[in-house]
Structures are given as C-alpha cells and as structure tokens.
A and B are shown apart, each in its own frame.
Chain A
C-alpha cells in the first residue's frame, strides 16, 4: 500500500492537509489580479508565485474553482498541431503535464494513451502527413499509420464505417489525458500555499481604467485596486474584453460533450475522426466520453441539445458499433471562444497593465501549464512578451499575421 494512504489511514485527524484554504475577506489592493479561477488563471498565479516571487495576488472566480471550461472539457492533451508556432507551444505543454503530479504533490492522473486521428479522405491524409512532419521536425512523436497498424492499436474499431472507409491514421504517441479538475486543484493548492488568495463567488463587474491603464476592478464584493490584471475567462472572453473597451475577433460557440456509464476498460488510445465529427476516449473510471463539433451558431449559453447528441452518437456507433448497447449517463456543454485562425490570444492588450489570455476555443485545457508559465513571465516582466507566445498577440488580427490552425480543410474537389 502506498505510503500516503497509510498515513491517511493511521491518522486519527482528518484532513492531514488542506488543499484549498477557507474563504477570506478581500484586501483593498493586490499587485496582480487574475480574473478567472480556472486552470489558466490558477496556473498563472502559481507560476508567478513559484518563479517570480510575486505572491500578492488575488484570483477572482465568479462561480466555483475550475467550474468553467476546466470542468467541462474532455481532457485531451496533445501537441500534433499544424503550424510551427503551435507545435512548439503545445509540445512544451505536454512535457510540463508529465511532471505535474509530483510538482503538485497531488495526483492529476496523467494517463499516457496516445491519440489516434482517422483519415477517411485523401485530403485528410495530406493534412495529416503535414502535421506528422511538422511534429517530427520539432521532436514530437507523431506518425502516419496504415489500416493494419490501426487495427492492431484499436482492435475494436470499425475501419469501414458507411461509405467513408478509414484509409490512414495520424498516431500521436504523446497524446494523453488527465483528471482535468485535479489540474486546477493542484495549481490552486500550490498557489495558495505560497500565499496567493483565491476568491470564489467573486464576480468582476467592471474594470476601472484611467488614462489607458487598468487601476482597479469592481466586484460584487467591492472594488480592488491592482497593479496589473490578467483576464483568463474562457467562454466569456469577448464579454470581458468589451468591458475593457477592447475590440475582439472572438465568436463564442457552445461545444457539447457526453459520457456513458462506467465499463471495464476496452479502449486505451484517444480516438477521433474529423469526417465523422466525433472523438471518443475511455476515462480511468471506465466511462466513455464523446465530443464532437461545435454548435452551428454563436451562443453564450451552456445548454445541451438533442440534435447534436443524435448525430454525435450515430457517428460514435459507426466507429464502435458495439457501443449501441452502452448507456449514456450525462450530456453537457461548454462555451468556446473561437478566433478566426483557431489559435489563442495571449499577451498585451491596448489597455496598459491588462494582459489577455483568451480565444482558447476547444484547445485550452491542453495548454494550461505552458500558458500559465508564459503568462506569468509576461506579467512578472511588466509586459515583455515571451518568445513562445509572441505569435499569439491580439494585434495579429489587424496586421494579418495569423497563426492558422484550422488545418488543411478536409474538402475534396
């Protein structure tokens, strides 16, 4: 039996340690105010306190800790992107994820599974090959594999769904999953230990900007002065940017996901098919999680729909016919801030001392560690943009320097 459990079992007092300290009064002023207590905001706070000695920080969360998209995403970790900028950035994130449990002293259950993406058309094969090559160029482990190799990796997969037979796969060996909530809690626990204050049920209602510089935030619990502020509010990014008077290129779409009852393990890799708009993974609890494409129109609401569930599950059954007999337990939605080039917005904003961490679409979770680390560098340096995130600045949309991650489209002529 692992030592920690013995410690818990034999201790008469529980808890042996506290993860999240009890709520406190707000102070009137902080060096750094981080708006949004999800994975990104908490990671930024943690790295500020760990590497930069900045601890006079308030993380403000309007709901509960990690209750936004941190709680709602399907916890896929990968770095098989299309652009050099993207691959470099996400590869560093994957590397950091691997060490988080020990760094946090809290098991995030990082589960190295590999990610398999299926190609049903030659157009997809083309774009996959490019992704594989770009990955390899930066030392990532991604390979094109054929039908036989796919069969060996996932014997239960149907390689001939309808009129879209699988012709090849993109095998991203570094693909992984982790307990998404635990990532937020791990950051929160360690940040709190270093003196960061985390305030839940604290909603930022207004930003106080004087002479183009942010000086304070007004919350439902009073006004707080701040040296600088970071916004990390996935889903509500455009709304908050509007409050800061910043024009945003973001459109927000609901993204739905669903989960079955738990079953004994049958699927190790994360499997997805862009032609079938479906991705499937089995969690460590044995539940099968499904995700698909975003809803067709913009909406700032996390309601679920029947239509999406119908088409997504029909496709899931095409991929894994035996899942017809599995039972769905829960359906939910998150809202995703989509940018025109499917890359995030990180860095400076037109408001002095106001830093942006936004536009994370459907790929925010997998970037949590590296995003927190680079945002912390940005904040600590007083606005010197780290090399790794320089391509992701907001200004790229007016200077036409976008980082296109839309992928080569799967269209054919």
Chain B
C-alpha cells in the first residue's frame, strides 16, 4: 500500500494504520480514510454490483453522492463506502450479488438488457392469468440492495436544539467568506459542513496554474473562521432538509440538531456531472473531482495512466494535478473546440500531455470480466451527440470525466425555489426563494473563485442588513466568467450501456423510449423509468434526463423542468430522525400500591391503570370476586385518570350550559349533574359530571381519553363566545379514588370528621368540600357502579396518603381494591354506558336512551340543531340490554346482531354477572327489535347464532335503591 507524499492526504493520519476486511480479505487503511479510499489505496476498485444488470461498479464521486459505493456492514446495509469513515476491525462486504462480488452469477443479466427495455415489468409476467403470482416472488428477490439485520437493536441517538442569526450551509469558499462577513458585522453564525475539514472545493480542486491559490486562501479563511467568537462550526454535519421558516435538521454523529435560524444562506456548491458514453460506469471511470479528492484528501493515486474528459477548463487544472502526482496523463479530451484560457493548453503541452479538442470519449474499454477500465475510444464530435465513425484508442486505467456542474439545489427546491435553465450558459438559475433564505457561490451559478467570494460577500451583506446590523466589509464586483457546462455531454452508443442513471441501470435509450411510449412529462418519465428514484435521488441523472426529455419532446429544459427534490437531502438513518425512543406514559400516585397488590396493568389513554388484581390466567375470577366484594362489602378504585376541569368565572354556568346537553344555569351549589356532550353532528362524544362548588366554580369530569379534546373544545368555544371564564385542565394535578359498597360510609366516617355524612346531610349526587385523613378534599356522591359511594378528589401530592388512610380505615370492613374490569362489570349491571365503548361515531342521545339528559327547553347547545333533526327522524337503531343464560356461548364485544339476512347492530359490552347469574350485555339492535322481551339473534364465534332476550335496563337493582340510600 503506497500513498502519495504530503501535502497530499489532508484527512489521513499516516501514523495510524487500521486493519479491516472487505469480502473476507484483510486490508489495511489509515485513520481518516473512508472505507472506499482505503480500498482504493489497496488497488481495490470494484465495490458493488449495479441494481438491475449486476455490473461491476467503483466509486464515482468519492463524496458520498452516488450509489456505486454502497456496501454492507455487519448490521448495516447500504453504507456509502466513500463517505463512511473507516474504523478498525470493521468487516465490510459487497451487496446485491449472486455468488461473489468479483464473479457475480447474475452479471449475465447485462447481456439481456435488450430484452429488458425500460419498464419491462409493466409489459410482461402477467400472461396467462395467474402467471404474475409465480413471477412475483422471483422478481422480488432480485430487487432490493443490502440486507437488514433483523436482530439489530437500536442504539442511543438524541436531539438538541440550536438557534442562530444566520445558518450557513456549506463551508466552501462561499460559505466561509459569507460566515466571516456576517460574523464581523456581529451576527451569530452557525456554519454547517459535511466534511471533516473546512474548505469545500478548496480542499481538493485546483484554481490556478501554479496550484497554490486554493491552499493559501483556505488557510486564510479557515483560520479567521475557526478563531471567530461569533461563529460556531459544525463539521461532519449534514443539513439534511429545509423546512418552513428555516427549520433545519442537522445530523452530526448520533445527534440531530434542530436548528432555527433567522437567516439561512445556502452555499452548498455544485455537483460535478458525468459525461454519458458507453461503459461510463466501469470501475476506474470517475468524476474528475473524485480523482482530485482521492489524491488531495487521501493521498491515493487514482491510477497509473489517465484520460481526462472535460467540458470546461477545470479539466485542464485536474490534469495538471494528476501529472504533478505522477499519474501519466495519456490525453486530455475537451468536448469544446477551444479552452477558455489558452494558457492552460500550453501548460499541458509543455508537460507533454496531448490535448484532443472537439472530441469525446465514445466508449470506455475493458478486459474480460469488466472489472476495470482498460482504455478509451476517443472520437471527434461531429454534431449534437454525434461522433466520427472512427477514432483513437488509448490505454488507460483511469478515466476522469466532467461535463459541467449542477447546483446542489435540493435544499433550495425544498424551500420552494424554482429552477429555470439558461440555454445560453447551459446553466440552471433559481428564483422564488422564500424570505430569509439566500444562496451564494457555485450553487448560485458563480464558478470563478473571485466571483464566488464576491457573491458570498454580497449575499452576506444583504443578510446583515436584514438582521439590522452594520456591514463592515467592502463589497466586491463580480466579473463575467467562462461557461463551465458543456451543453450536450451525451453520446449515445448503438450498443447502449451509455448510462444516464447509474443507480437504476438506465441507458440513453431507456429515457428516449419512455417518452416515445407516451410518458412525456418529466415526472412521468421518472415514474415510468424510475430514473432518479434510486439511492442518489437524481444527483447525476436529473440534468441529462431533463436534456433528453426536452429534446425528445421538442421543448426547452425550462419547460420540461427537472424532477422534484424532496427531503431528505441524503439518505438518513431512521434512528437519527426518531432520536431517543421516547415512550411517555403516566402513572397515578398510587401506582406502586397497585403493583404491590399484584395488579395487572392496562393502558387507558396515556395512563396505566389496574385492570384487576391477580394473575392474568385468573382474570375472570379476580374480576368477579372484586365486583362481588363491592356489592357485598366495600371496594376502592383509583380513578385518578378521570379527566378533571376546573371552570371558574361569572360565565362558568353559561359555558357549560352551551357545551353540554343538560341545563346548568340553575344547578344548586353542592350538587352534581350528569353532563353529556354532543358534537355539531349531534353525536355523543363525552360524558362526566359537573359538580358545582360555588356560584362561579364548577369542577367538571371527563373521560380519561377524552379530556384533552374536551379541554381543547372548551378553550375554542370560550374564545369564540368571549365568555368570562377561566378553564384549567387539572387532570394530572388532581387524583381521585372511589370508595364504593354498602360499607363505604362507615369507612369514610372513620377518616372524615368535618362533614355530615348521613344520607340526609350528604345525599346522592351531593358534592362537598371536606377534610379526609387531614387532607382537604372534594367529595362527590356518585353511583357509576350502583352502590353507595364517594369519589374523593385530592391534590395529586396527597393521593398516596389518602389511599393508605382509606385502606387503613377500611381494614375493619375488609376493604379491597378493585380494577377497571370489575368497574366495567358493575356499571354494566347498572346499564351505564361507557362513551366510545357503547357509543360510536354516529350515536345520538336517543339511541342510548339519553333523551332525559338533553334539555328540552334551552335554545342552544353544541349539537342542538342536529339532535333535533335526528330525533325528528324515525329511529333506526337502539342500544338495548340483553341477557343470556349462563351456559350459553357468550357473545364477545364486536359480535353482530342480525335481523334476517342483514346486520342490524353489534354487541358493545358483554360479561357474565355473578350477581345475576346470567350473561348480560349491551348491543345495538334495529329499533323494531328493541322492545323488552324480544329475541335478538347474535352471531358469536364460529358463526353460531344465539338468541338473546332484550330486557329493560338496568339489569341490577332497578329501583336504584342501593346507590341512593
């Protein structure tokens, strides 16, 4: 392994060798190498196989911008070898091959490319009928690239927020200069650079004959930037998207910074563009900038004998670089008839390098196995994309190409920038950027170094003004510059393999044919041919595709446009976007007590609640025992998750009167009322109780999962109606328990001395404020489970003390905690509905027999009009109670109620009741099936029909004596 001498190798540490393996063979690289640079240093160019034809591929950009270097790490597929930092001991393999990377048994597919025209899969494999079923699995297996490690467990990734006056994306000459200019004026600048070093093109490109300018300028700018108090630099950081209002996700290491910047400057530079000729995908054929990066960043000699194909003067400078580093330059091939700067031509000739003007490479040659380029067939250009019938063949092991530059426009287009094409300059221009977003440098169409700097100062100056700061730098003027883009670097070959899209193995004729079949819109071409849909997302294919489609459909490129650039800029790990695996959930203050008592927990909205106390295998027995205990003695349930809303103010009653169906204006203090809420469609959406503690104070409960929405509704309506009310969501601030059962009063009497707890002193539906176990509480006499019971609400910080005190006081009465399951059974016995279980998105009050809860006199509540219309229509269905003998197959919730051959409803609640020794349930049935005594057929598991009897509700204690005594 030999490397070029310093100053080549900006990124590597020659004193730190690293061992690794590729496809099972050991290799050595250096710290700072990418996987690809280390392999190339060892002469290994073939890194991957292409998607469709399994052609051998090597690095194209050396900048992580192509899919040719996708390799597989042990637990990570599709890793870009040319941007992934080499680590000691890493085991790298190729991917998407059959056999071995060097001898891929699927490489024969390339020979059949004629039989696989663009979109071939749309045109075949479906005849005769049913054939597709056989083909599909075979084709699926061939698709896809790397293999995901299904055993992989997520690692720690996190997020952080950053703020800046100005975010500069890209630390090339433009980004550095603009950051400095703005920072000197006092702006807080965040400078974001993908590479491990600052400088952008200054780190690898050559700007002058002597080859000094880049290094000198880079040192000058970087020193100033790195020492600047107003500039924060993020290296190896990728700004991966632009979201509205300069919201920028920046990925660095295992973190995503979410940046909010007042101003954003995009100095993202431009991508070198390939030239299209036959076999332009062979290993050893690379972008000119890739060869320069290899030398200058990694000290890797990209080849022994090179041909440089160019469409601008930069190719000459690159040829000088190659020559300086001991690469024999067999020829410089310029597609133009003359270079802009003739001094370059002379400089090359002085070094004995032959220049072929007005010529192109028509075909890259190779030896058997296609593992590397072995020569170039050079032809005179005779017309647009046309060449002479014979030319000159030169041996080479490196073919550098550059057809021009495409701005790195992705972020700009995500921000709404529109690309237009200037046919004269063969260059894209941008317009329509949002406020506070600016572009500078080669992304802005300036390529001469002095112009890039001048443009950066100009852009920064505008930003400084927008930030209300004082400019301290002098503006520089830009000068006209030479064209850098060759307008038609596309040379189709009759035998094809002239690749437009390397990711998707698409050749010139594929694009042309797509338009011929009728897919003339650039978006349709993309969708039909899949051009630009691969991992590099059109970095190299967008421009030639636009050119080809425009030519084929007799339009200009401005008319055809290019395909849309969507976020992210480059592929991002899901882990980066997801960040820390947050799984927020809520526990009540009594959570530990429940766990100690052996509770099986269940999710209830965002909360965890005890379903029952006992083993999962004994669920039914536990629930029945708990329920029976409440009926016979006393039970306690944690109802902290119940929604709680404090509504205060002179208009509190008015607000509730408009929001809920009942009447609340005359509700006495010290009383609660059932509260039913409908939406504007008249559909029941929530319920609870409104407890009036004062003239201007209601405490309103809501369902656990509904409270956030109800709170939102209250705020919305309150804002709209401009009432004088303050609404607070106190769900998490207030905890509550319900003590229920015949002995509940006795339990409470032991811990509450300041209230008259007698049936007369504190009647059913009464509400009180009193002291329980030394804690100030709100007490509500409610009857959800149908027994004498008290809901006791306390500030959450006192809840555990309350629970313990009640358990202590209840010991003498054998108090036991009960869970949600028992509560559901108890309320079912009482025929109480649970909103969202016994109601659906269509239920209106009459259907659940809640007509009584709808005020008949008040003119308005949300849903009034709809409820009136619905009630005036013949009722179609009704929620009914039904019973079945204990021994009957038990319907499950969700089973259907039938009426003849039709579905007339569904079971919403069903359970065996020990108190009644029957299966009881609630179900929707057709209105003509809903009279007590009627039989309703229910289809249970395995299609069995049971005939349940409709009964009057409630099932248990029809006179409600138990809860009211």
Contact with B571, one of A9, A101, A182, A328 (Cβ below 8 angstroms):
A328
Given known A133-B895, A324-B573, contact A264–B527 (CB-CB < 8 A): no
Question: Do residues A20 and B517 form an inter-chain contact, with CB atoms below 8 A?
Answer: yes
Question: Do residues A284 and B139 form an inter-chain contact, with CB atoms below 8 A?
Answer: yes
- Asked if A26 is an interface residue, CB under 8 A from chain B, the answer is no
Provide the A375-413 mask, 1 if CB < 8 A to any CB of B, else 0: 000000000000000000000000010101011110111
B150: chain A residues within 8 A (beta carbon): 155-156, 266, 322
A84: chain B residues within 8 A (beta carbon): 902-903
Q: Which of B629-658 contact A (CB under 8 A)?
A: none
Question: Do residues B572 and A327 form an inter-chain contact, with CB atoms below 8 A?
Answer: yes
Question: Do residues B513 and A14 form an inter-chain contact, with CB atoms below 8 A?
Answer: yes
For B77, the closest partner residue in chain A by CB is: A263
- Which one of A64, A284, A323, A411 has the greatest number of beta carbons of chain B within 10 Å? A411
A121: chain B residues within 8 A (beta carbon): 602-603
Report the Cα distance A316→B149, complex, angstroms: 16
Contact with A413, one of B149, B535, B705 (Cβ below 8 angstroms):
B705
B140: chain A residues within 8 A (beta carbon): 265, 284, 286
Question: Do residues B572 and A125 form an inter-chain contact, with CB atoms below 8 A?
Answer: no
- Asked if B957 is an interface residue, CB under 8 A from chain A, the answer is no
Report the Cα distance A8→B509, complex, angstroms: 13
Given known A14-B117, A106-B122, A322-B150, contact A327–B837 (CB-CB < 8 A): no
Residue count of chain B within 8 Å CB distance of chain A: 113
- Asked if A162 is an interface residue, CB under 8 A from chain B, the answer is yes
Given known A2-B127, A129-B895, contact A325–B573 (CB-CB < 8 A): yes
Report the Cα distance A314→B567, complex, angstroms: 17
The stretch that binds B, out of A213-221, A305-313, A354-362, is A305-313
- Asked if B896 is an interface residue, CB under 8 A from chain A, the answer is yes
Question: Do residues A134 and B896 form an inter-chain contact, with CB atoms below 8 A?
Answer: yes
- Which one of A164, A262, A317, A409 has the greatest number of beta carbons of chain B within 10 Å? A262
A185: chain B residues within 8 A (beta carbon): 122, 528
Question: Do residues A162 and B585 form an inter-chain contact, with CB atoms below 8 A?
Answer: yes
Report the Cα distance A181→B117, complex, angstroms: 18
Given known A14-B117, A325-B148, A327-B574, contact A19–B518 (CB-CB < 8 A): yes
Report the Cα distance A413→B241, complex, angstroms: 41
Question: Do residues A5 and B123 form an inter-chain contact, with CB atoms below 8 A?
Answer: yes
Q: How far is the CB of A333 from chain B (nearest CB, A)?
A: 9
- Asked if B22 is an interface residue, CB under 8 A from chain A, the answer is no
A112: chain B residues within 8 A (beta carbon): 133
Q: Which of B29-65 contact A (CB under 8 A)?
A: 51
How many interface residues does chain A have, given as a range? 35 or more
Question: Do residues A331 and B568 form an inter-chain contact, with CB atoms below 8 A?
Answer: yes
- Asked if B850 is an interface residue, CB under 8 A from chain A, the answer is no
A227: chain B residues within 8 A (beta carbon): none
For A314, the closest partner residue in chain B by CB is: B578
- Asked if B495 is an interface residue, CB under 8 A from chain A, the answer is no
Contact with A22, one of B114, B141, B518, B574 (Cβ below 8 angstroms):
B518
Question: Do residues A329 and B903 form an inter-chain contact, with CB atoms below 8 A?
Answer: no
Question: Do residues B703 and A413 form an inter-chain contact, with CB atoms below 8 A?
Answer: yes
Question: Do residues A137 and B903 form an inter-chain contact, with CB atoms below 8 A?
Answer: yes
- Asked if A318 is an interface residue, CB under 8 A from chain B, the answer is yes
Question: Do residues B155 and A324 form an inter-chain contact, with CB atoms below 8 A?
Answer: yes
- Asked if A223 is an interface residue, CB under 8 A from chain B, the answer is no
Q: Which of B147-162 contact A (CB under 8 A)?
A: 147-155, 157
Question: Do residues A285 and B144 form an inter-chain contact, with CB atoms below 8 A?
Answer: yes
- Which one of B585, B841, B873 has the greatest number of beta carbons of chain A within 10 Å? B841
Given known A413-B835, A413-B836, contact A332–B892 (CB-CB < 8 A): no
Question: Do residues B892 and A326 form an inter-chain contact, with CB atoms below 8 A?
Answer: no
A8: chain B residues within 8 A (beta carbon): 114-115, 117, 120, 123
A161: chain B residues within 8 A (beta carbon): 583
Question: Do residues B115 and A122 form an inter-chain contact, with CB atoms below 8 A?
Answer: no
Given known A111-B136, A264-B141, A409-B841, contact A306–B894 (CB-CB < 8 A): no
For B686, the closest partner residue in chain A by CB is: A411
A133: chain B residues within 8 A (beta carbon): 894-896, 906, 939
Report the Cα distance A189→B835, complex, angstroms: 50
- Which one of A9, A132, A161 has the greatest number of beta carbons of chain B within 10 Å? A9
Question: Do residues B841 and A341 form an inter-chain contact, with CB atoms below 8 A?
Answer: yes
Report the Cα distance A19→B519, complex, angstroms: 8
Report the Cα distance A285→B504, complex, angstroms: 11
- Asked if B860 is an interface residue, CB under 8 A from chain A, the answer is no
- Asked if A365 is an interface residue, CB under 8 A from chain B, the answer is no
For B876, the closest partner residue in chain A by CB is: A401
Provide the B366-385 mask, 1 if CB < 8 A to any CB of A, else 0: 00000000000000000000
Question: Do residues B574 and A130 form an inter-chain contact, with CB atoms below 8 A?
Answer: no
- Asked if B121 is an interface residue, CB under 8 A from chain A, the answer is yes
Report the Cα distance A20→B572, complex, angstroms: 37
B681: chain A residues within 8 A (beta carbon): 340, 400, 402
Q: How far is the CB of B246 from chain A (nearest CB, A)?
A: 12
- Asked if B682 is an interface residue, CB under 8 A from chain A, the answer is yes
Question: Do residues B241 and A18 form an inter-chain contact, with CB atoms below 8 A?
Answer: no
- Asked if A195 is an interface residue, CB under 8 A from chain B, the answer is no
Q: How far is the CB of A148 from chain B (nearest CB, A)?
A: 15
Question: Do residues A412 and B518 form an inter-chain contact, with CB atoms below 8 A?
Answer: no
Question: Do residues A262 and B145 form an inter-chain contact, with CB atoms below 8 A?
Answer: yes
B141: chain A residues within 8 A (beta carbon): 264-265
Question: Do residues B152 and A324 form an inter-chain contact, with CB atoms below 8 A?
Answer: yes
- Asked if B78 is an interface residue, CB under 8 A from chain A, the answer is yes
A285: chain B residues within 8 A (beta carbon): 143-144, 530
Question: Do residues A328 and B604 form an inter-chain contact, with CB atoms below 8 A?
Answer: no
- Asked if B244 is an interface residue, CB under 8 A from chain A, the answer is yes
Provide the B835-870 mask, 1 if CB < 8 A to any CB of A, else 0: 111001110000000000000000000000010011
Provide the B807-823 mask, 1 if CB < 8 A to any CB of A, else 0: 00000000000001000
Question: Do residues A129 and B524 form an inter-chain contact, with CB atoms below 8 A?
Answer: no
Contact with A325, one of B149, B520, B523, B577 (Cβ below 8 angstroms):
B149
For B116, the closest partner residue in chain A by CB is: A5
Q: How far is the CB of B674 from chain A (nearest CB, A)?
A: 15
Report the Cα distance A285→B603, complex, angstroms: 38
Question: Do residues A101 and B75 form an inter-chain contact, with CB atoms below 8 A?
Answer: no
Question: Do residues B144 and A126 form an inter-chain contact, with CB atoms below 8 A?
Answer: no
Question: Do residues A107 and B125 form an inter-chain contact, with CB atoms below 8 A?
Answer: yes
Contact with A107, one of B126, B244, B842, B869 (Cβ below 8 angstroms):
B126
B704: chain A residues within 8 A (beta carbon): 411-413
- Asked if B253 is an interface residue, CB under 8 A from chain A, the answer is no
Question: Do residues B602 and A122 form an inter-chain contact, with CB atoms below 8 A?
Answer: yes
Report the Cα distance A340→B575, complex, angstroms: 36
- Asked if A321 is an interface residue, CB under 8 A from chain B, the answer is yes
- Asked if B243 is an interface residue, CB under 8 A from chain A, the answer is yes
A163: chain B residues within 8 A (beta carbon): 583, 585, 603, 608
Question: Do residues B122 and A102 form an inter-chain contact, with CB atoms below 8 A?
Answer: no
Question: Do residues A137 and B583 form an inter-chain contact, with CB atoms below 8 A?
Answer: no
For B414, the closest partner residue in chain A by CB is: A304
- Asked if B893 is an interface residue, CB under 8 A from chain A, the answer is yes
Given known A163-B608, A413-B835, contact A1–B115 (CB-CB < 8 A): yes
For A67, the closest partner residue in chain B by CB is: B523
21 CB contacts below 8 A, A to B, read A2-B131, A8-B114, A15-B516, A15-B517, A19-B518, A19-B519, A21-B518, A126-B908, A162-B583, A261-B535, A263-B144, A285-B530, A305-B244, A317-B154, A321-B154, A322-B149, A329-B535, A400-B866, A400-B873, A409-B840, A413-B824
Q: Which residues of B contact A (CB under 8 A)?
A: 51, 75-78, 112, 114-117, 120-127, 129, 131-133, 135-136, 139-141, 143-155, 157, 241, 243-244, 247, 249, 258, 414, 509, 513, 516-521, 523-524, 527-528, 530, 534-535, 537, 566-568, 571-575, 577-579, 581-583, 585, 602-605, 608, 681-682, 703-706, 820, 824, 834-837, 840-842, 866, 869-870, 873, 892-896, 902-903, 906, 908, 939
Nearest 5 A-B pairs (CB), nearest first?
A286-B144, A129-B894, A20-B518, A162-B583, A9-B115
Further pairs besides A323-B148, A325-B152: 18, Cβ < 8 Å: A9-B115, A107-B122, A126-B894, A126-B908, A130-B896, A179-B122, A264-B141, A285-B144, A313-B574, A314-B579, A325-B77, A328-B568, A404-B842, A407-B841, A412-B604, A412-B836, A413-B705, A413-B835
